[in-house]
């Protein structure tokens, strides 16, 4: 059985006091939720990793980072290395988010190196894939997903520390969300593709999240799909009540995989 992972990607939001207040609100709300059935992760901006990590001590909530450089160290002004993130208390790193691809030109070879760097230093990786609206309307969704998987994932990746996040680019921050059927179909395709790389048994145990305007109103429908194993949440993770409602939906639908 795959335990759903609900991860909050805070992006470039929240000042320090706001970050601490948010995470404390999430902690308080989790007291009434069976956290044994779900894994919860928050990914604040770099400057607040240690402060949020300190606030999380003794909590079931995990700490993650939104990106990482592939080098162990070096003259890379403005970048952050995986060992630094590990030292700050991170257990997960998001790699390949569509905003990194779109705004910073990150592509296959670079993402290939980043994923391996995260795994080399013992952390888990959330590798994001997804198609644009133009690609979906042209009937190229599966071709795009296949390319994004093939250019980064291979048998040298430790599947036990890999999570794949399907995020249709056209649904990120737009208020549009894939229908439950669209999301499930994409997840089935992704799981089949991963089965070709890692073997069907491994792929059946590998978690695939959905991301893209996940909200309390649509969470239960999406998370209730057989092949959707949690959510990578953007805007809705910035309010404790909304994020908790999504976590509760994941708990309520857990066990269907």
Catalytic residue among 69, 97, 112, 187: 97
DSSP conformation letters of the chain: -PPPEEEEE-TT---HHHHHHHHHHHHHHHTTS-GGG-EEEEE--GGGHHHHHHHTTTSS-EEEES--BSSSS-S-TT--BHHHHHHTT--EEEE--HHHHHHH---HHHHHHHHHHHHHTT-EEEEEE---HHHHHTT-HHHHHHHHHHTT--TTS-GGGEEEEE--GGGSSSS----HHHHHHHHHHHHHHHHHHH-HHHHHHSEEEEESS--HHHHHHHHTSTT--EEEESGGGGSHHHHHHHHHHHHHHTT--
112 is catalytic: no
Number of Cβ within a 10 Å radius of residue 105: 8
Nearest to 165 by CA among 92, 217, 68: 92
167 is catalytic: yes
Residue 161: C-alpha distances to residues 126, 130, 138, 175, 206 (Å): 9, 20, 33, 31, 9
Which positions are annotated as active-site residues? 97, 167
């Amino acid at each position: 059985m795959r335990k759903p992972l609900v991860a909050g990607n805070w992006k470039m939001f929240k000042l320090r006091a706001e970050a601490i207040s948010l995470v404390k609100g999430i902690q308080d709300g989790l007291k009434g939720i069976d956290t044994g059935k779900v894994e919860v992760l928050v990914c604040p901006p770099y400057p607040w990793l240690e402060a949020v990590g300190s606030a999380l001590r003794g909590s079931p909530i995990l700490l993650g980072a939104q990106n990482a450089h592939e080098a162990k160290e070096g003259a890379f002004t403005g970048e952050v290395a995986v060992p630094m993130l590990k030292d700050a208390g991170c257990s997960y790193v998001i790699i390949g988010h569509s905003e990194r691809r779109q705004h910073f030109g990150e592509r296959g070879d670079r993402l290939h190196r980043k994923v391996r760097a995260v795994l080399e230093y013992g952390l888990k990786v959330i590798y994001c894939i997804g198609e644009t609206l133009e690609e979906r309307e042209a009937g190229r969704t599966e071709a795009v997903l296949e390319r994004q998987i093939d250019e980064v994932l291979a048998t040298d990746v430790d599947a036990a520390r890999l999570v794949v996040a399907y995020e249709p680019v056209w649904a990120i921050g737009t208020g549009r969300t894939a229908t439950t059927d669209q999301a499930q179909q994409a997840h089935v395709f992704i799981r089949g593709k991963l089965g070709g790389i890692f073997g069907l048994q491994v792929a059946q145990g590998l978690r695939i999240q959905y991301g893209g305007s996940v909200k309390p109103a649509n969470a239960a429908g999406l998370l209730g799909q057989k092949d959707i194993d949690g959510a990578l949440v953007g805007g809705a993770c910035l309010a404790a009540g909304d994020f908790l409602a999504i976590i509760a939906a994941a708990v309520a639908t857990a066990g269907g995989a």
